[in-house]
Structure 1
Amino acid sequence: MLHHAGTGPRTPARARRARALVAAGVCTAALATGCGTQSQAAAPPTRGGLSVSYQAPRGGDADERAFLRGRGLPEKVAADLNKAVRLPEPVEIVGRSCKKDDIPEYDPAGGRIVLCYGFIGEVRSMFEADGDADPAGRTAGVVTETLYHEAAHALIDKLNLPFTGREEDVADQFAAYRLLRQGEAGRAALLAAADNYDQYARESDPADADPSDEHAPDAVRSANYRCYLYGSAPRRDRARERRSLVDGKRLTKERAELCEEEHRDLRRGWDQLLASHTNDR
């Protein structure tokens, strides 16, 4: 239930998850003033639904925490899903400082989504290194997509949703499903995530590839998001956008011919999965 695979040598997912769960479950004295600081934008953890809290930052994470809180990214995702889906058990989105190799993930044992402050700085530095015109805005898009991806794991867990294939692929599809409903801002966030996966793919050493990884390769995830963007774009109204998405590398003309159908299947699949749980039918 990890999100980004990262660029360095991979630790087995189970070991990484166990380390993160131990860290997420302990509130040390150094963090005592910031542990459990509850946001009012989401349901309190005593009820079903998503809530948000922030732990005090460690080291150089203060700017990342301020960025996250200032833009209200977890609160917006929590509010969107609380409005859309009846979640019978609480799930808490927790912003916190993590160990160096830890990444955002859903912890089923604790019923929480851990969002690492360091991940925010890492993504922003990648956009800055590429000379992006709006690294802060693009980082916010990636963080939003990440939260929806991890929220998908929570929904699958708490609602006992059936699915076929790999759960990580289904979680990516859910992120696209929710973002593509949100107009220009959602489309921009999904494209930022696609570009960020492409950045990770460029920096990865093929020798570190793990054929048993539950995630699709970063380049494939980038291509999938571009395909969903292409397939959801009306032909007449978004002809220019559709042309820009088909670059022959990340999204080929051959794949693009299937993208409208892929997007329809994605939307229909998640509509059916959530049919008995949704508030916005």
Structure 2
Amino acid sequence: MCKVTTIALTVSLLLGLSWSASIAGPESQPTSRSFVAEYPDVVNQRHAAYRRAFMEERYVELFAEGLSQSIKLPSPLYIRLEECQQPNAYYAPGPPKIVMCYELFDSFERAFADVPGGERGRVVMGSWLFVFFHELGHALVDQLHIPITGREEDAVDRFSTVLLTKVGEDGTDAALSGAYYFWLSSAKNKDPFSYWLNSVAGTPAHNFADENALNEQRFYNILCWVYGQHPDRYAWVVKNGTLPMARAQRCSHESLRMMKNWEILISQASVQQTAATSAPQSSIPLLSDYPKGRIVGRVVYPEVPSSGAEFSEIFVMLYPATKELTTWFSNPVAVKKQGCLVPRDYLPDGFPRFGDSDTDGSFTINDVLVGTYHLCAVYTWNTKRQNRDSKREAIAVVPNIKVQAGTDAKLTVRE
């Protein structure tokens, strides 16, 4: 399971770093574990072997530990491996738990029976990974109150694919294993086009009524999203006709859009969760100089950091906010990001900046700045309005930041 362990650690790291480190809020070390692994006793001897292997490898514990460092939930979420009497995996809200059934492994083994032995283990575990992150998506939607329009099942398929494709080739292979499992679970033969032509009339009505998309649709969706992330590496799926060209042409844009959407949803929902559980609280008003005096229709509440060492963790929360503000303006040209510190008497109409900002948008805090300040992220760009150049700025502010002596923190506006 060494590759799977690597994926587990990498995905947990991605949740904490790639998505602006804001999932855990300003404090990256929750006081209690948000995720807990559990292995109830089993009766079936084959399932006992699965259970023993998972416990020896500490596979689920690695997920639980990594996710607990990255995500702060209102109550512990239990990850349970257990017998269910049927192939299944599900999230249950109260008490919150993700259940991964051992019978699902049996289903994977049957579906991939024709795959050579060494390769079979890889695709079985890859399919398990895809399903696990699918259920994790359900858990985060519920626990963080993430707004989803459309079918939630489709949204968390996207979530699982996004996470796995960000890991690298091993993660992408896991996503493709999940897609392959969906195809094998329903296809009467392995030729997508002949099956499609003959399947609709014989499809049971309950398949159309199910909350999930048809397995064939899930197969093509995942294939499209993987291809969209790595079109050169997976060009063969288009060349051999598995993924129709009409869909393939839209996959890069589709996968990029869904990745950015999930980043924004997770970041905003996590900050709001911090608001509900943090004390003391301090608001981040989101301000802009155009239209004059207009305030963005949401306020984020972080904990007030006690030292400059915590700046870098809270600073990355500002990126989605400033990025959102730039959409107010048309025709952006030469966008420049920068960080700034402003004194307590900050006024939006003009503020002094402390220290020089590096070209990458970062700067270092030192003992000269000991005191209480506001921390802000500023977007500056040029637009053309009525054939005239116009300079615009969007600002996000965290007020009342205390900088203590002896701290040295590097702040960076992250892409």
TM-score, normalization by structure 2: 0.51
Give the equivalent residue in structure 2 for 1:108. Answer: 93
Q: For residues 88-103 of structure 1, what are the structure 2 equivalents within 5 Å?
A: 88-100=74-86, 103=88
1:207 paired to 2:204: yes
The verdict on how the C-alpha distance between 1:50 and 1:105 changes in structure 2, with shifts beyond 3 A counting, is same
Give the equivalent residue in structure 2 for 1:28. Answer: none
1:271 paired to 2:263: yes
Give the equivalent residue in structure 2 for 1:185. Answer: 170
Once the two structures are superposed, residues 144-167 of structure 1 have per-residue CA deviations (whole angstroms, 9 ceiling, x without a partner) of 111111011110111111011111
Once the two structures are superposed, residues 156-202 of structure 1 have per-residue CA deviations (whole angstroms, 9 ceiling, x without a partner) of 11111101111101111110111111111111110111111111121
Secondary structure of 1:58's aligned partner: coil
| Structure 1 gap ranges (5+) | 1-45
Q: For residues 62-211 of structure 1, what are the structure 2 equivalents within 5 Å?
A: 62-100=48-86, 103-131=88-116, 134-202=119-187, 206-207=203-204, 209-211=206-208
Secondary structure of 1:109's aligned partner: coil
Give the equivalent residue in structure 1 for 2:326. Answer: none
The verdict on how the C-alpha distance between 1:108 and 1:231 changes in structure 2, with shifts beyond 3 A counting, is same
Instruction: Please state which structure has a larger fraction of its residues in helix.
Output: 1
Whether the 8 Å contact between 2:207 and 2:214 is mirrored in structure 1 is: no
Quick one: which amino acid aligns to residue 174 of structure 2? A
Give the equivalent residue in structure 1 for 2:388. Answer: none
The verdict on how the C-alpha distance between 1:264 and 1:240 changes in structure 2, with shifts beyond 3 A counting, is closer
Give the equivalent residue in structure 2 for 1:55. Answer: 40
Give the equivalent residue in structure 1 for 2:247. Answer: 255
Q: Report the CA distance between 1:77 and its aligned residue.
A: 3.5
Hey, what's the Cα distance between the residues in 2 that align with 1:77 and 1:222? 26
Aligned sequence identity (%): 27
Once the two structures are superposed, residues 111-152 of structure 1 have per-residue CA deviations (whole angstroms, 9 ceiling, x without a partner) of 011111111122023212344651111111111111111011
Segment of structure 1 superposing worse, 161-170 or 117-126: 117-126
The verdict on how the C-alpha distance between 1:240 and 1:274 changes in structure 2, with shifts beyond 3 A counting, is closer
Larger radius of gyration: 2
Hey, what's the Cα distance between the residues in 2 that align with 1:169 and 1:180? 17
Hey, what's the Cα distance between the residues in 2 that align with 1:68 and 1:192? 20
The verdict on how the C-alpha distance between 1:76 and 1:199 changes in structure 2, with shifts beyond 3 A counting, is farther
Quick one: which amino acid aligns to residue 244 of structure 1? V
Q: Report the CA distance between 1:274 and its aligned residue.
A: 0.9
| Structure 2 gap ranges (5+) | 1-30, 189-198, 272-312, 318-415
Hey, what's the Cα distance between the residues in 1 that align with 2:54 and 2:221? 27
Give the equivalent residue in structure 2 for 1:23. Answer: none
Q: Report the CA distance between 1:48 and its aligned residue.
A: 5.0
Whether the 8 Å contact between 2:83 and 2:102 is mirrored in structure 1 is: yes
TM-score, normalization by structure 1: 0.74
Secondary structure of 1:129's aligned partner: coil
Q: Report the CA distance between 1:109 and its aligned residue.
A: 1.8
Hey, what's the Cα distance between the residues in 1 that align with 2:122 and 2:52? 14
Hey, what's the Cα distance between the residues in 2 that align with 1:231 and 1:136? 26
Hey, what's the Cα distance between the residues in 1 that align with 2:161 and 2:144? 19
Q: Highest relative contact order (Cα 8 Å, sep 6+), 1 or 2?
A: 1
Give the equivalent residue in structure 2 for 1:14. Answer: none
Hey, what's the Cα distance between the residues in 1 that align with 2:109 and 2:54? 12
Q: Report the CA distance between 1:208 and its aligned residue.
A: 5.8
Once the two structures are superposed, residues 52-74 of structure 1 have per-residue CA deviations (whole angstroms, 9 ceiling, x without a partner) of 11112212311222343345443
Hey, what's the Cα distance between the residues in 2 that align with 1:90 and 1:232? 33
Whether the 8 Å contact between 2:41 and 2:82 is mirrored in structure 1 is: yes
Secondary structure of 2:187's aligned partner: helix
Q: Report the CA distance between 1:245 and its aligned residue.
A: 5.5
Quick one: which amino acid aligns to residue 185 of structure 1? D
The verdict on how the C-alpha distance between 1:226 and 1:129 changes in structure 2, with shifts beyond 3 A counting, is same
Residue among 201, 224, 227 paired with 1:227? 224
Quick one: which amino acid aligns to residue 52 of structure 1? A
Hey, what's the Cα distance between the residues in 2 that align with 1:176 and 1:247? 22
The verdict on how the C-alpha distance between 1:125 and 1:211 changes in structure 2, with shifts beyond 3 A counting, is closer
Residue among 223, 237, 247 paired with 1:244? 237
| Count of residue pairs brought into register by the alignment | 230
Hey, what's the Cα distance between the residues in 2 that align with 1:150 and 1:188? 19
The verdict on how the C-alpha distance between 1:47 and 1:65 changes in structure 2, with shifts beyond 3 A counting, is same
